[in-house]
Structures are given as C-alpha cells and as structure tokens.
C-alpha cells in the first residue's frame, strides 16, 4: 500500500489535515518572502524554525475549531469558502497573540500578518474548488446527462446495495450516506463517504447540496421510520424509500426499487415471524376455496396461498370485475395453478352447492362479507342476509362436503357490537363456534381490526380527499383504531388456520391503536403539505354505529396466548343450539319478507350486549365540525 493510501486508511480526514497544515506553512513562508523581497538585501529564507512551529500550531487549532474538517472537498461550495476566510482571519489574530507571547513579535513584520490570511485563503480554497470542479467535470462527462444529487439514509446492507446500483445509474448521483453506527463514521461505501448520524440530516443535507433523500432502512420499525420521515420533512427535500423487508421476502417488490414513503411504512410493525413449515404442511397439495376472493383480504389470500403448492384454488366472488381482475393476475403470476373462478353470491345455496361440488375443497376461507359500518346501519336486511345467513350457507355446504378446515374471517367490531355490521359478524361467529361441535369440519374464527388501504377503508378516503385539496374529514379528535397491513393480516390468518382444532376464536395482535387524527396528519405530510395550513382537517362527529375505540376481546372471552406471539385464543361463549337454529330460521323468514324490525329483534336476542336503539341515539351527537390547526 502506498503511503498516501495508508494515511487515508488510518483516518480519511488525516490527509486533509496534513494538506492544510502544509498550506499554512507555505502561506507563512510565501508571505515572508513577499515582504522581504521588497528590501535590497533580503535575509535568506529559513524553512523550519520555532516561530514557524508556533504559527502552524496556532493556525491548525483555529482550523479545527472553525469546523473546516467537517466539510468534504467533493462538495466544496461558498459556505466552505466563507469558513476558510473566517478561519484565516481568526488564525492571523491567533498567530499574532501566540508570537507576541513567544518573542514579542520581534522578528515578524506587521505587513506579514496582513498579507498572510489573503494567501492562506487562496492556498486552502483553490485546491478544494479545483478538486470539486475536476470531480464534477469527470462525472458529467461520463454521464452526459444531469443527475440528481442523492443522500442515502442507512449505510447497512440495504444502503450498500442501493449505492452500488446508483453509481451505475444515470438519474442519481450518491453524494453521501448517513448512519447512526459510530464504527462507520468516516468510512466510504463504494467511494461514497459516511457523513454522520441521522439526527444531523437537515444540516448534512444542506452541506452536500442534496436534491433527493433515499431511505435505505427496510428493517426499521414504525417509531424509527416516523422519526426519519420527520427529519426528512424538515429538510424540505423530496424523499423516497426502499421496500420493507417483508415486501421483498414476499416477492412483491425488488430490493432496490424506490417508492414513495407510504402510510404503511409509518404504521407497520415488526415483520411477522411465521411458522411457514406448519402453514405449508396444512395447505400444500390441498384443494382450497376462498369466498370473496376478489376483495382486499380475499385477493391477498389468493396470492399467498397460490405460492404454497396447493392442488387447486377456487374463487367464489359476486363482483364480476373483482373476479376478472384476480383471475387475470393469478393466471399471469402462477400459470401452472389449477384455478377456477366462480361468479356468484355465496349466500345463494344453489351457487354454493355447485361451487363445492365442482371444487371438492378441503380448506375454505370465508372472506365474503359486507363491512362498511355507517352504510349497513340502514341496510339491516342485506347485512344479515350476507354476513350471517351467507356464512351459515357456506358453513353448512362445507360440512356436507367433508371440508377439513373452515376459516371465518371476522372483525374486532364483533366485540361488544354497537353497529349492525359488528352485530352480524358476531352472529356469524356464534354460529360457527356452535356448529363446530356438531360437525367433523374444524371451524375456526379469526378476528382482527382495520386493514390499511383495504377497499372502502379510511386510507383510500383520506388519499382522495388530499388529492382534491381537502378538507380531510375525521369523525372525532379522540377516535382510535387498530391497523395492520393486508399482507400481515393474511399471513396471520393462514397461521391461525393451522393452529385451530375447531370452535376457537383467534384474535390477531394488532399492536397499539392509532389515532385517526394522527393518521390524517401523517398522510398529509407525506404529500409534502402541512396539516391545517395546506390541507384542513375537519371533525364531523361520530357516524351511526361507530365507536370511539375498538376491542379485540369481550370481557367473558378470557383470552390466552398461543404458540404464536401475534395470535391470541379467546374462549368461545356457548349458546343453545336449538335456540340458535330457531333464531336463524326466524331471521331467514324476516329476510324473505324484508322485515328489518324482526331482524333487529333477532340480533338483540342473540347478543344481549347489542342495543341498536341506544347506539342510534348516541350517533345523533351534534357534529364537532371544526378545523384542525
């Protein structure tokens, strides 16, 4: 290794320090030469003296104190030049004081102290600007196209892989990395320097004149990601991120694909660790049927199950467009998959019987349901017909055809329900729990909260409102909800499906509840707008059937842990089978006669905790309707 490279390897900035001290020595020698060259008999030049040592020492301390070595030659600019001027002037004053204490300035002409800082500015600034010009010219000639200067956040494996790709890109020019790992300070990754910790992002972004920020922290948790995004927003510079680790593992995105930071990145949690061996054992080689397979949850279940080497997949879906879309996607992604797309309502006994006869499923995931809470408050008949009687129809078909496992996908709104939607889902749970004792099929219920970006959920609504310039409507300042991503919910559904023995209710660990107010603010900020200034937030009051907060368990459902840390088991509440059947027969007649009052009475009798009329009175609260500033 050559001496120069050896010095750089010991400390990247040591070479710069030695250069600057050499320039101090040269400037002092040159200044004295210029001063004495005006005399008839100038004294001979002395290259090394105690006086010069005092000069170099005093000036070196000033250069360090003014922070000259925090900058990089590669990004030398006007602020760096001003810093050099400041350091040179202060250095001249420090030298004057030091030499006065050393020898009363007996050997130093006063003109030297005036000329010296001028030469030092030239000797320190010229090499820096020349180096930057050379690097920029060489880079521009090699690219022949303008490239954005990017600062990469994260110098781990993801950051290294990203920089490796970017150095060969024409669109981006990596100018530095930021990482909290102290061991990486001053290091270079593919020639790109690690500049400092993430907390210094606003300062470092200005220093290197970054035009884009790239977040390369795929394993960051939601708290870390929120902090990073806040710092990015402070810079006012556009930012992007690499995909989350779980998206890469699942094959949804490539590792080096850049995307805008989404609300999922801020509300997501630690990646779910699944027992894929147990899941594959339970599904590989099996015939699977999914009702509602074109919806948000159903379609993601289709994608994940299709990867597990199943024998066949049947999708029962009443939306023609949704069925067409997921069928086309699966044919393209999994050309060898034996796929049957059946159009129809799973609550139609003839449709259901035909689908089961053709598919002969061994595993059924029942995802078909109406789920929009305020809308269903005035649609009791349709909510009951689809969510309760539809579940009964599919469950009875599964029993007749000898299905091994039936998984009902439920919701946290079924706990202490105050809405028609929640009450109907709770009624479906009750039927499956009690039917499990009468059937050889293992009936399993999986209960979870809101799913980010699912159809009809709050995230697409907020996104559309923001796109239209606002306002963003939040029902109540204190309203909270549990959230998880669609892939995470589906993975935990699959895990719960292989854990259950029949009759259980599994509740998914939803983490901490999130204030909808906070969700709205973050979504606005992610579009580079300011909440309350660029986009207003308006509180409109709770809607019919809506609660301030959701629950995952009823007080009588004493829950316990399972072998999976993210899945809890709730104790089912038994009910008289004869009474349940009688209520459902009466409900079927009420559906036929469109008697919604009878259906309300049926829900009240099935769930004493459900009081629809009290809920409707609560929903008539005067809207708050004030702007959030």
Confidence band for 504, pLDDT divided at 50, 70 and 90: confident
Q: What mean pLDDT comes out for the span 33-55?
A: 67
- Provide the pLDDT for residue 182: 78
Using CB atoms within 10 Å of the CB of residue 581, give its burial: 0 to 12 exposed, 13 to 18 middle, 19+ buried: middle
- Provide the pLDDT for residue 160: 79
Write out pLDDT tens, residues 106-165. Answer: 667 767 777 777 777 777 777 776 766 666 555 544 445 567 788 888 877 777 777 777
- Provide the pLDDT for residue 431: 93
Measure CA 546 to chain center.
27
Lay out the sheet containing 442-448: strands in order across: 339-343, 312-317, 287-291, 363-366, 405-411, 442-448, 505-508, 567-570, 560-561
Write out pLDDT tens, residues 554-570. Answer: 555 566 666 677 777 77
Q: Which of 54-68, 236-250, 518-532 is the least confident region?
A: 236-250
**CA neighbor of 425 nearest in space, from 323, 545, 541:** 545
- Provide the pLDDT for residue 142: 46
Residue 27 has pLDDT above 60, yes or no: yes
Other CB atoms within 10 Å distance of the CB of residue 209: 12
User: Is the preceding peptide bond at 81 cis, omega within 30 degrees of 0?
Assistant: no
Known active-site residue 148: no
Query: With pLDDT > 90 as the criterion, what percentage of the chain qualifies?
Result: 21
Residue 280 has pLDDT above 80, yes or no: yes
Distance (Å, whole) CA 169 – CA 552: 48
- Provide the pLDDT for residue 25: 77
- Provide the pLDDT for residue 619: 41
Task: For 487-533, give the DSSP string.
Answer: HHHHHHHHHHHHH--SS-EEEE---S-EEHHHHHHHHHHTTT--BTT
- 148-261 to CATH, choices 3.30.470.10, 3.40.50.20, 3.40.50.720, 3.40.50.1820: 3.40.50.720
- Provide the pLDDT for residue 443: 93
Write out pLDDT tens, residues 339-387. Answer: 999 999 999 999 999 999 999 999 999 999 998 888 888 899 999 999 9
- Top-confidence range, 231-245, 427-441, 469-483, 512-526: 427-441
Confidence band for 615, pLDDT divided at 50, 70 and 90: very low
Confidence band for 282, pLDDT divided at 50, 70 and 90: confident
CA distances to 25, 52, 81 from 59, in Å? 10, 11, 16
Confidence band for 618, pLDDT divided at 50, 70 and 90: very low
Cβ atoms of residues 478 and 515 within 8 Å: yes
Write out pLDDT tens, residues 387-417. Answer: 999 999 999 999 999 999 999 999 888 888 8
Higher pLDDT, 239 or 410: 410
- Top-confidence range, 87-91, 430-434, 530-534: 430-434
Phi-psi map region of 512: left, alpha, beta (phi>0 left; psi -120 to 50 alpha): beta
CA atoms within 13 A on the CB side of 448: 26
- 276-619 to CATH, choices 3.40.50.720, 2.60.40.10, 3.30.70.890, 3.30.470.20: 3.40.50.720
CA distances to 33, 374, 426, 542 from 609, in Å? 97, 19, 11, 20
- Provide the pLDDT for residue 169: 66
Q: What mean pLDDT comes out for the span 88-112?
A: 74
Cβ atoms of residues 240 and 534 within 8 Å: no
Tokens representing residue 154 in the block: 């994260």
Higher pLDDT, 45 or 415: 415
Domain with CATH 3.40.50.720 in the chain: 148-261, 276-619
Residue 42 has pLDDT above 80, yes or no: no
Distance (Å, whole) CA 73 – CA 505: 63
Mean pLDDT over all residues of the chain?
77
Confidence band for 99, pLDDT divided at 50, 70 and 90: confident
Residue 210 has pLDDT above 90, yes or no: no
Distance (Å, whole) CA 602 – CA 597: 9
Per annotation, catalytic residue among 286, 371, 413, 547: 413
Confidence band for 573, pLDDT divided at 50, 70 and 90: low
- Provide the pLDDT for residue 251: 47
Write out pLDDT tens, residues 161-181. Answer: 777 777 666 677 888 888 887
- Provide the pLDDT for residue 240: 78
Residue 245 has pLDDT above 70, yes or no: no
């Amino acid at each position: 290794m050559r001496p120069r490279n050896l010095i750089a390897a010991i400390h990247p900035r040591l070479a710069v320090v030695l250069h600057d001290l050499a320039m101090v020595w040269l400037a002092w020698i040159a200044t004295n030469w210029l001063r004495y060259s005006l005399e008839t008999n100038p004294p001979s030049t002395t290259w090394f003296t105690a006086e010069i040592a005092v000069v170099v020492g005093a000036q070196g301390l000033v250069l360090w104190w003014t922070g000259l070595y925090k900058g990089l030659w590669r990004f030398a600019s006007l602020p760096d030049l001003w810093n050099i001027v400041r350091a040179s002037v202060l250095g001249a004053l420090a030298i004057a004081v030091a030499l006065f204490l050393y020898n009363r300035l007996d050997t130093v002409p006063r003109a030297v102290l005036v000329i010296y800082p001028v030469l030092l500015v030239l000797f320190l600034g010229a090499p820096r600007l020349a180096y930057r010009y050379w690097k920029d010219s060489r880079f521009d000639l090699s690219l022949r196209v303008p490239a954005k200067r990017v600062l990469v956040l994260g110098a781990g494996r993801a950051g290294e892989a990203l920089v490796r790709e970017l150095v060969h890109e024409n669109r981006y020019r990596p100018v530095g990395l930021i990482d909290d790992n102290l061991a990486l300070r001053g290091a270079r990754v593919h020639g790109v320097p690690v500049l400092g910790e993430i907390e210094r992002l606003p300062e470092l972004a200005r220093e290197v004149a970054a035009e884009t920020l790239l977040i390369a922290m795929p394993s960051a948790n939601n708290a870390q990601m929120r902090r990073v995004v806040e710092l990015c927003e402070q810079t006012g510079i556009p930012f992007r991120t690499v995909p989350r680790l779980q998206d890469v593992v699942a094959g949804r995105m490539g590792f080096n694909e850049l995307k805008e930071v989404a609300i999922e990145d801020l509300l997501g949690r630690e990646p779910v660790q699944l027992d894929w061996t147990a899941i594959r054992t339970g599904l590989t080689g099996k015939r699977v049927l999914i009702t509602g397979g074109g919806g948000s949850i159903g379609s993601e279940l289709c994608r994940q199950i299709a990867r597990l080497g199943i024998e066949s997949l049947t999708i029962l879906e009443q939306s023609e467009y949704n069925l067409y879309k997921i069928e086309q996607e699966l044919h393209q992604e999994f050309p060898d998959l034996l796929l049957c797309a059946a159009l129809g309502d799973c609550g139609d006994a003839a449709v259901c019987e035909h689908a089961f006869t053709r598919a002969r499923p061994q595993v059924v995931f029942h995802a078909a349901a109406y789920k929009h809470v305020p809308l269903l408050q005035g649609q009791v008949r349709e909510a009951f017909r689809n969510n309760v009687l539809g579940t009964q129809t599919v469950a009875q078909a599964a029993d007749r055809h000898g299905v091994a496992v039936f998984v009902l996908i439920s919701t946290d709104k079924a706990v202490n329900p105050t809405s028609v939607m929640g009450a109907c889902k709770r009624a479906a749970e009750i039927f499956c729990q009690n039917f499990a004792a009468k059937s050889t099929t293992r009936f399993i219920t999986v209960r979870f909260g809101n799913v980010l970006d699912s159809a009809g959920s709050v995230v697409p609504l907020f996104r559309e409102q923001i796109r239209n310039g606002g306002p963003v409507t939040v029902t109540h300042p204190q309203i909270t909800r549990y959230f998880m991503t669609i892939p995470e919910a589906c993975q935990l559904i699959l895990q719960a499906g292989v854990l259950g023995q029949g009759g259980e209710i599994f509740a998914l660990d939803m983490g901490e509840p999130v204030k909808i107010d906070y969700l709205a603010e973050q979504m606005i900020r992610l579009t580079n707008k300011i909440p309350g200034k660029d986009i207003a937030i308006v509180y409109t009051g709770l809607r019919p059937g809506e609660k301030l907060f959701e629950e995952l368990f009823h007080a009588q459902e004493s829950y316990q842990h399972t072998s999976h840390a993210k899945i809890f088991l709730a104790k089912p509440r038994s009910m008289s089978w004869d009474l349940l059947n009688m209520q459902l027969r009466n409900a079927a007649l009420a559906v036929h006669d469109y008697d919604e009052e009878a259906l309300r009475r049926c829900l009240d009798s099935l769930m004493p905790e459900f009081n629809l009329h009290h809920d409707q009175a609560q929903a008539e609260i005067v809207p708050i309707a004030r702007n959030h500033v």
